[in-house]
Amino acid sequence: MRNRSGTRTALAAALALTMLATACTGAGEVTGEEGVDLDVSTGVTEDSVIIGSHQPLTGPAAPGYLAISQGARAVFEYVNAQGGVNGREIDYRVEDDAYDPAQTIDATRQLVLEDEIFAMVGGLGTPTHSAVIDYLNEQGVPDVFPASGALAWNNPGEHPLTYGWQTDYTKEAKIQGQYIAENFAGEDVGYLYQNDDVGEDSQAGLDQYLAEQVVAREHYESEVPDVSAQIAELERAGAEVVVCSCIPAFVALGMLEAARIGYEPQWVVSSIGGDTATLQGLLSEFTQDTDAADVPADAFLDGMLITSYMPRVEDEDDEWAQFFLDVYEEYGEGGTVTNTHVFGMTQAVMFAQVLMSAGEDLTRQALVDALENQEWRGPSPVPFASGDGDHGGHQGVYVVRYESGGSIEMIQDPRVTDREGGDIEETDFAPLGPDELVFHD
């Protein structure tokens, strides 16, 4: 009897699974989606518009990125205090996803179904946002300015409602590559990169200009906070210039390790790792209770080259940087304003700007039309693309040199390029100041 009961379980399970099998075709065979209705005003009332975002508010990624939503919230509160946009207040709702895609999916559904957001603004992270990009497009929710430089956001054919924001990693790397090839001609170059799309896409750009000069390619995993082997290898290979396509924690680790072994390359850091205030915080944290505790964190950063596409908070002459400092002073949550705050603040200003252009009869279609036709004039000093089949966002970067003491010097004006093999071009783009740019009533 017992043996037979085992067989029966197996039989019954097989039967049930067969039934399941006949009920659906291949698990990976996805049928084409039908068009979505964009002539809706979900989340819009007479006097408010609800927008949402998924951000890592807790967990290991939170210390690095919490500032983005804080910055954005400060700008939206400033906008609301000025009377909102077309008479509507912006209701900015942030859901925590702890940088875990499984949680991003839940958070996004909650925003879309429960909070009924009008649009997703600045959803953060490549793995996290990749998990919801299909869903947002299927639901007809405009997916504006995801906060990551992955190439995937600029794919209007497949994801017509997704509008990229960050200068993608390949464009940025091409301009870095050209700058190094011109200014450090003949010197040996080493790459230090994060072993995911950041590293992959960055190398695709760097190699277009530096293939001859590269002597070492070293990667790190974002889960393993140790780069000593990588730095030792870069030194052994004799790299005089190190291009770091890294997040801030690993820029700091790399610089410390290099200082420890007496290796002094020229550092070239991407925008994602180039927030000097964050770097200083990390460096003084890492040097605590070590021999280097008395060395000012600033000293490690002296002479570092950074590529950037937004206004920079170190720049005392920049109108937007000063404006952001003032706004954060009044509407922010306290603490030092970093370039990570500026990231969220620039995003918020640009979203408010396009919401303004979408007009008083606000529908999702109106927002998409506004995005497609917007003539962007800042706050960033770099041209911005969101129409004509190009959803790539910022189109290039400029190069600055950081000097200890907290000042930066612009050493190459903004240049733009594409993500393929196209040329790098100079641009005569000039942003409007905070007083001229229309982004609130």
Partner 1 sequence: MSSPIRQCAERASAPGSAPASASPKPVAASPGDRWRGLPSPLRHLLLAALGLAAVTALLLVTGDLTALRVAAVGYTMLAIAGLQLLVGGSGQVSLGHGAFMMIGAYAMALLVLYQPMLPLAANLLIIVALSVVAGIAVGAATARLHGPYLAGATLILAVGLPGLTHRYHDLLGGSNGLVIRTAGAPPLLQGLVSDSEWKALVVWTAVVIGLAALATVSTGRLGRRMRAIRDDETAAAMAGIPVGATKVVAFVIASAAGGLAGGLQAYVLGTATPSTFTLALSLTLLAGLVLGGIGSLWGALWASVAIVYLELWASDLARALDLSRDAENNLPIVFFGVVIILVLRFWPLGVHGALQRVTIRLRSREPR
Cβ closest to partner 1, residue 134 vs residue 187: 134
> What's the min distance (Å) between Cβ of 130 and partner 1?
5
Cβ closest to partner 1, residue 134 vs residue 240: 134
Cβ closest to partner 1, residue 55 vs residue 287: 55
Tokens of 312: 């920079």
Pairing mode, strands 396-403 and 305-308: antiparallel
348 Cβ contact partners less than 8 Å away, ≥ 6 residues apart: 71, 72, 73, 74, 75, 76, 79, 92, 121
Question: Pseudo-torsion of CA 44, 49, 54, 58, nearest 10°?
Answer: -130
> What's the min distance (Å) between Cβ of 272 and partner 1?
14
298, 404 in Cβ contact below 8 A? yes
Can you give the binding site for partner 1, defined by CB under 8 A?
1-2, 5-6, 8-9, 12-13, 16-18, 20-21, 23-31, 57-58, 62, 96, 99-102, 105-106, 109-110, 113-114, 126-127, 130-131, 134, 195-197, 221-223, 333
> What's the min distance (Å) between Cβ of 2 and partner 1?
6
193, 246 in Cβ contact below 8 A? yes
For tokens 């008479």, the residue is: 87
b/e per residue 289-321 (b: at least 16 CB within 10 A): eeebeeeebbebbeebbbbbbbbbbbbeebbbb
> What's the min distance (Å) between Cβ of 30 and partner 1?
5
Distance CA 235, CA 111 (A): 48
> What's the min distance (Å) between Cβ of 385 and partner 1?
24
> What's the min distance (Å) between Cβ of 126 and partner 1?
6
Measure Cα distances from 368 to 212, 267, 412, 424 in Å. 44, 40, 34, 29
> What's the min distance (Å) between Cβ of 24 and partner 1?
5
Measure Cα distances from 159 to 42, 223, 286 in Å. 20, 30, 41
> What's the min distance (Å) between Cβ of 98 and partner 1?
9
Cβ closest to partner 1, residue 172 vs residue 197: 197
Total count of residues recorded for the chain: 441
Cβ closest to partner 1, residue 18 vs residue 290: 18
Cβ closest to partner 1, residue 6 vs residue 35: 6
44 Cβ contact partners less than 8 Å away, ≥ 6 residues apart: 50, 88, 118, 362, 363
Cβ closest to partner 1, residue 105 vs residue 295: 105
197, 146 in Cβ contact below 8 A? no
> What's the min distance (Å) between Cβ of 49 and partner 1?
20
Cβ closest to partner 1, residue 56 vs residue 381: 56
Rounded to 5 degrees, φ, ψ at 421 are -100, 15
Cβ closest to partner 1, residue 58 vs residue 82: 58
Question: Pseudo-torsion of CA 167, 173, 174, 179, nearest 10°?
Answer: 110
Tokens of 387: 């129409």
